[in-house]
Amino acid sequence: MPDHYFTADPSVPFQREPLQVSVWGHDLRLVSGSGVFSRGRLDPGTAVLFRETAPPSGGRVLDLGCGYGVIGLAVAAAAPDAVVAGVDVNERAVLLANENAASLGLADRFRASTPEAVDPEATYDEIWSNPPIRVGKAALHDLLLAWLPRLAPGGRAVMVVGKNLGADSLQRWLGEQGWPTERLASAKGFRVLETRRP
C-alpha cells in the first residue's frame, strides 16, 4: 500500500521544500516536505479557509491534522494572544510544524505533537482544520468525535471540506450527532463549516 500524508512514518525519502504564503496580512516563510500533505504549496481548500474567515482573537486553539503547520502558525501570527497546539499522526509533519514555529519565532505559542502526546485533559476554545477527508468516512467520523468534545463550552470548530468530498453530508451528520454546524462560506468547490459546542 502506498504511503499517504496520514501515514505515521512515511517511507518516501524526506526532502524539504520551502514555500511562502501570505495569510491575514502576515507573510509566512515555511518548509513543507515529501510525505506531508500539500508539499510545496498552499492547498486550495486551506486557501479558501483563510480567504473566507478572520483569525481567532486569541485563546487556546487546536490545529487538527496540522501538517507542516500552516493553519496553526497563521493563527499564532495573526492572534498574539492565541496559544496554538498542532496535532498530526504524521511524525514528519509534526517535525516540520515545530521547525516552522521556531523559524517564525512562534515556538513559545505553537507546539505540534502526535495525538498520543496530547494532554488528555486539554481543552480548546477553537479548533481549526482542513480535516483528512481521504482517511475515509468512518475514520473521519471517529477523528471528529474524538476531538470535538475537547471544545470548551461556547467553543467552535472551523473546517474546510470539499463539496465533492462530502461537505454537505458531513454538515448534516455533525448536526445529527448533536454538533450544530452551519456553512460560513462556499467558494471554489469548498465549504467552510462552523461547528459549535452545544
The pLDDT of residue 106 is 98
Q: What is the largest CA-CA distance in the chain?
A: 44
For residues 37-43, give the mean pLDDT.
74
Confidence of residue 2 (pLDDT cuts 50, 70, 90): very low
43-196: which CATH topology? Answer: Rossmann fold (3.40.50)
Is a pLDDT exceeding 50 seen at residue 5? no
Is a pLDDT exceeding 80 seen at residue 117? yes
The overall average pLDDT reported for the chain is 91
Q: Are 157 and 143 in contact (CB under 8 A)?
A: no
Count of Cβ atoms closer than 10 Å to residue 81 Cβ: 9
For residues 65-78, give the mean pLDDT.
97
For residues 177-196, give the mean pLDDT.
97
**Exposed, middle or buried, 193 (CB in 10 Å: 0-12/13-18/19+)?**
buried
Query: What does the angle CA 105 – CA 150 – CA 74 come to, to the nearest 5 degrees?
Result: 25
Least confident range from 25-34, 81-90, 143-152: namely 25-34
C-alpha cell at 142: 471517529
Q: What are phi and psi of 115, to 5 degrees?
A: -55, -40
For residues 114-140, give the mean pLDDT.
94
Is a pLDDT exceeding 70 seen at residue 3? no
